[in-house]
Chains A and B, each alone.
Chain A
Amino acid sequence: MSINWNDAAQAVRATAAQMADALAAGEVTSEALTRAHLDRIAAVDGVDTPAGIHAFLHVDAEGALATARAVDADRAAGVELPRLAGVPIAIKDVVVTEGLPTTAGSRILEGWVPPYDATVTARVRAARMPILGKTNMDEFAMGSSTEHSGYGPTHNPWDTTRIPGGSGGGSAAALAAFEAPLTIGSDTGGSIRQPAAVTATVGVKPTYGGVSRFGAIALASSLDQLGPCGRTVLDTALLHEVMGGHDPMDATSLDEPVPAVVEAALEGASGNLAGVRIGVVRELSGDGYQDGVRQRFEESLDALRAAGASVVEVSCPSFAYALAAYYLILPAEASSNLAKFDSVRFGMRVERETVEKTMGATRAAGFGDEVKRRIILGTYALSAGYYDAYYGSAQKVRTLIQRDFDAAFASADVLVSPTAPTTPFRLGERIDDPLAMYLNDVATIPANLAGIPGMSLPAGLAPEDGLPVGFQILAPAREDARLYRVGAALEAALAAQWGGPLTVQAPELEVAQ
């Protein structure tokens, strides 16, 4: 089935791999492709458009088109170009971009323009990919719905009354609404994988240290990881190889080659998983998971068995404490990382007579409620007399969770679970109940605590509400390639059942004229 690249509606629905091939073959220009995405953003993204997706906090049409034209000129001149040259991308607003406003979804950074590029931004530029803009997120990546963005929520393209997941809801919704073929996300407790699950897209949290975090505004430094988001497993792998690899500017960066994830995705797409052992985590698939989520998860297991994999059950008893440990470690580290927003060097200042009063007034005005809750919680967890009971104990739980993973990976090559317990809930439904909101992350958090890689990919639509369900795959540290092999095999098997990718089943968005 060939794509008519002159039809913008078809062009924006193509995969990134198809776009790259068409660009290389001269079937389409990067300028036309970039313009098609900018037009799509103009039609569906603004809060005053009928769909009002609001995946973007900032759109850089001029910069994206300038990059596109330069790529087209170089290609016409016969210059050798990287594989994704000319394919547009959007970047989560937690990643700094020289010359482009960066807020991390917070009012305290409104209007700030970074004087330097994050390493991943520099790598995207070196890959010659036009940067469409910056995507919406929960403030400082604290949240599971984007409702904690200081600039208003993003809406799920599958049902605009529902959450797009979080914190990277903008990066996921931009993919699902065909506003960008690839996006960059960050995952501290599931902020790439849970938005992927509820928007029927693909997202990967690489091994801790696998992608440089230099220039990523830190939330919780022992958990944060940047990663790639796409609509297909192969597209996500292509971006992973652009982003990944050692960076001397990040002391936690692994000094190792990027895993061969593109090769793994291609191998997996052949559909043969003979000899692969899949471990179902008992603690991540029982009570509290919506019926339709469980049904699609079971069907995905059947598809993996049909591809030749063996399925075993594994138990990780310490996961019962993962959420509690996470909500101590994260606030503790966040309260320290966010001390830099002090009204002195960048961002908002609410002037008072002394610098101390200025800090208090600025942080009161600039931070939203979720950020305040977590800073207070973290300040408490780190305070004298409570440190051992809270932060110290949470770090011990972390050791127990790593041991559970080690034991589970002795009997399975990858572990699997539903990515999130439910399909996307309605905007506003959990906004006043932080603990209910935190339960979204129950299946994704253990991977961050252990530093291992994880992927979410579409498992279908729940029968009871027609909304997306995500399938999570976890692999041992440094074995990111296994995610892509198993993920691509599952994707191919499910696409054969559905008669094509799930994304094309998304309801048409009403567009602004």
Chain B
Amino acid sequence: MSTLSRADVARLAALARIDMTDADLDRLAGQVAAIVDAVAQVAEVAGADVPATSHPLPLANVHRADEVRPSLTQAQVLSGAPQAEDGRFRVPQILGEEA
């Protein structure tokens, strides 16, 4: 099993939307690669005939009645937002210059 490279970790961090400095990569890339190498052994143990388990006690079709119930108010929902305006979440520019 190949070890994760520093460039791989940088790409994964970008996908996960976590900015990483060179110092961050120096600290974390080797640790993440070591963990990947240690956990890769799972691929050795179970054959194709073993089903996967996603939840330990699976429940199926958990529904509630289709009816209106009380919910948080708009003010409550927005109460923790870093910025809000006109009853909506306010965010910086979404599209780049070229769009």
Residues in B neighbouring A351, C-beta threshold 8 A: 92
A252: which of B32, B43, B59, B93 is its contact (CB, 8 Å)? B59
* Interface size classification for chain B: 35 or more
B31: which of A113, A328, A373 is its contact (CB, 8 Å)? A373
**In the bound complex, what is the Cα–Cα distance between A406 and B11 (angstroms)?**
42
Contact A395 B82 (CB under 8 A): no
- CB closest residue in chain B, given A325: B42
Contact A363 B36 (CB under 8 A): no
Q: A113-B79, A398-B53 are in contact. Are A390 and B39 (CB under 8 A)?
A: yes
Residues of A whose CB lies within 8 Å of any CB of B are: 112-116, 207-209, 222, 248, 251-252, 254, 318, 321, 323-325, 327-328, 335, 342-349, 351-361, 363-364, 367, 369, 372-373, 375-377, 379-380, 383, 389-390, 392-400, 402, 434-435, 449-452, 477
Contact A477 B57 (CB under 8 A): yes
- CB closest residue in chain B, given A360: B19
New A-B pairs, 5, CB < 8 Å, besides A348-B82, A451-B57: A254-B59, A346-B81, A367-B18, A377-B35, A434-B31
- What are 28 residue pairs bridging A and B, where the CB atoms are less than 8 Å apart in the complex? A113-B80, A116-B72, A207-B57, A208-B55, A222-B54, A222-B56, A252-B57, A252-B59, A254-B57, A325-B39, A346-B80, A355-B92, A372-B13, A373-B32, A376-B16, A376-B18, A376-B28, A379-B15, A380-B32, A380-B36, A390-B39, A390-B43, A395-B52, A398-B56, A435-B38, A450-B56, A451-B57, A477-B56
| Interface residues as binary, B1-32 with A (CB distance below 8 Å gives 1, 0 otherwise) | 00010001100111111111000100110011
**In the bound complex, what is the Cα–Cα distance between A481 and B66 (angstroms)?**
36
| Interface residues as binary, B44-85 with A (CB distance below 8 Å gives 1, 0 otherwise) | 011000111111110100101000000010001101111100
- CB closest residue in chain A, given B61: A251
Residues in A neighbouring B53, C-beta threshold 8 A: 395-396, 398-399, 402
- CB closest residue in chain A, given B41: A324
The 4 closest A-B pairs by CB, nearest first: A451-B56, A396-B46, A395-B52, A346-B80
B52: which of A114, A353, A364, A392 is its contact (CB, 8 Å)? A392
Contact A363 B32 (CB under 8 A): no
- CB closest residue in chain A, given B63: A251
Contact B46 A397 (CB under 8 A): yes
Residue of A251, A389, A395, A396 ringed by the most chain B CB atoms within 10 A: A396
Contact A393 B46 (CB under 8 A): yes
Contact A435 B35 (CB under 8 A): yes
Residues in A neighbouring B57, C-beta threshold 8 A: 207-209, 252, 254, 451, 477
Residue of A344, A376, A400 ringed by the most chain B CB atoms within 10 A: A376
**In the bound complex, what is the Cα–Cα distance between A358 and B14 (angstroms)?**
13
A355: which of B12, B16, B80, B93 is its contact (CB, 8 Å)? B93
Residues in B neighbouring A390, C-beta threshold 8 A: 39-40, 42-43
Contact A364 B19 (CB under 8 A): yes
**In the bound complex, what is the Cα–Cα distance between A276 and B4 (angstroms)?**
49
Q: A254-B57, A372-B18 are in contact. Are A358 and B81 (CB under 8 A)?
A: no
Contact B82 A343 (CB under 8 A): yes
